Amino acid sequence: MSIPAAQTTAPATTDPLDAAALREDFPILGEQVNGHRLVYLDSGATSQRPLAVLDAERDFLTHTNAAVHRGAHTLAAEATDLFEDARATVAGFVGAEPEQLVWTSGATMGLNLVAYSIGNASVGRGAPASTALALRPGDEIVTTAIEHHANLIPWQELAARTGAVLRHIPVLDDGTLDLDVASELIGERTRVVAFTHVSNVLGIVNPVERLIALAKDVGAVTVMDACQSAPHLPLDLPALGVDLAAFSSHKMMGPYGVGGLYGRAEVLESMPPFLTGGSMITTVTLDGAEYLPPPQRFEAGTQPIGPAIGLAAAVRYLDGIGLERIHAHERMLAERIRAGLVEIPGIRLLGDAAGVERVGLWSFDVEGVHAHDAGQFLDARGIAVRVGHHCAAPLHTRYGVTASVRASTALYNTPDDVDVFLDAVSGIRPYFGV
């Protein structure tokens, strides 16, 4: 059988996006929360799924559920075809070839896979050129001060295991990266440069082309966290020139438990496996094994077959609307949020840089009110936002706060959602008597 292409309420055009019409594709948005219409502004944490995605995964489980790459029976063959078709669809969404896309459980696994593979490179097993990636004491890993913990802690651990030195590109007061310092930090000892495309706290689209160019000049491997860009910006990862990039399905209208790791073919070929076991081998004896080429080399064990098929439906849905339209719509929402927040006394935006490209995401501090209290106030009015340090504690420390409130939009949010949110935010400090 074949899963039908995801359908959208509106076909892809250059016209402005009609979010109100698209909301019909997301049944959860019709729910009432605490007696109010749900205003969902937490898509930066996890996005809602359209019916097309729910239907695709359900259809697979109902009609074709079987293990892939293992069975010789009809269902197994059909499941394998759907699974590999999903790989091709998701790879094409980011401009890649199917063999350049590794299935993971999400971006966290993808980034850990890269870090641990590089850590295993000194052994020289599993990849013919893996020793070229090996880190030695004194080698340097450069990341940034704005990273999600998933693109920071793996590098801390890798540095500790190998004796490499971990360095950080600082963030300026306005939320932009200090590229002058970046030019000084990335040098002849740099072996890895890891960075986020879009900050999950600040919403700023970082100048990753510049970081990639600096890394290429010294022969360093580049690793990009694309979680907050894949659902919101058109991506062509090969054209961008990045070596490796990870993204998560559940942030881009897809199911939980699956994600993608893109890699340039020659980089993936040079990486030894991270997990070992079934499905990633060619031959096995009691004393050793030989491994498949990428991407299967990195896909040990039973894969997230249904979620992968659901993710393919999600990217067809996004493609059907058009990433340019989505980005323009969310940029409009971001401008509307900022215009309202700056007029509310006691609100401080984090990373309020002027003239930079950004997605529809803002984090802010409410003077005199803890972020968790502010979030509960909004939740009582049916408004879902994220509160805390958003898995970016060092960045919050940089701004002198332990936590913030984050409102993040998606293609299904409307100007009315923003206005309801702004009206509620204006009542936070008066309610707490500040």
What residues contact 78, with CB distance under 8 A and at least 6 apart? Answer: 1, 64, 66
What residues contact 44, with CB distance under 8 A and at least 6 apart? Answer: 200, 228, 251, 361, 386, 390, 406, 408
Rounded Cα–Cα distance for residues 262 and 103 (Å): 9
Asked if 134 contacts 122 with a C-beta cutoff of 8 angstroms, the reply is yes
Phi and psi torsions of 324, nearest 5°:
-65, -45
pLDDT, position 132: 77
Rounded Cα–Cα distance for residues 193 and 196 (Å): 10
| pLDDT confidence band for 9 (50 / 70 / 90) | very low
What class, spelled out in words, does domain 58-319 have in CATH?
A: alpha beta
Asked if 314 contacts 90 with a C-beta cutoff of 8 angstroms, the reply is no
Tell me which of 71-85, 374-388, 407-421 is least confident. 71-85
Where in the chain are the domains?
19-42+322-431, 58-319
391 belongs to the catalytic site: yes
Rounded Cα–Cα distance for residues 283 and 138 (Å): 37
- Give which of 91, 138, 133, 157 is closest to 311, Cα–Cα: 91
Instruction: Record the pTM.
Output: 0.95
Tens of pLDDT, residue by residue over 164-194, are 999 999 999 999 999 999 999 999 999 999 9
Rounded Cα–Cα distance for residues 350 and 428 (Å): 18
Overall fold of domain 19-42+322-431: Aspartate Aminotransferase, domain 1 (3.90.1150)
pLDDT, position 10: 42
Whole-angstrom CA distances from 102 to 49, 121, 309 are 22, 18, 14
pLDDT, position 307: 98
SS3 labels along 152-203: CHHHHHHHHHHCCEEEEECECCCCCECHHHHHHHCCCCEEEEEEECECCCCC
Query: Matching CATH topology for 19-42+322-431 and 58-319?
Result: no
pLDDT, position 122: 75
Rounded Cα–Cα distance for residues 207 and 183 (Å): 13
CB-based burial of residue 389 (10 Å sphere; 0-12 exposed, 13-18 middle, 19+ buried)?
buried
Catalytic residue among 378, 391, 407, 420: 391
The token pair at 78 is 């059909």
| Across 80-107, average pLDDT | 98
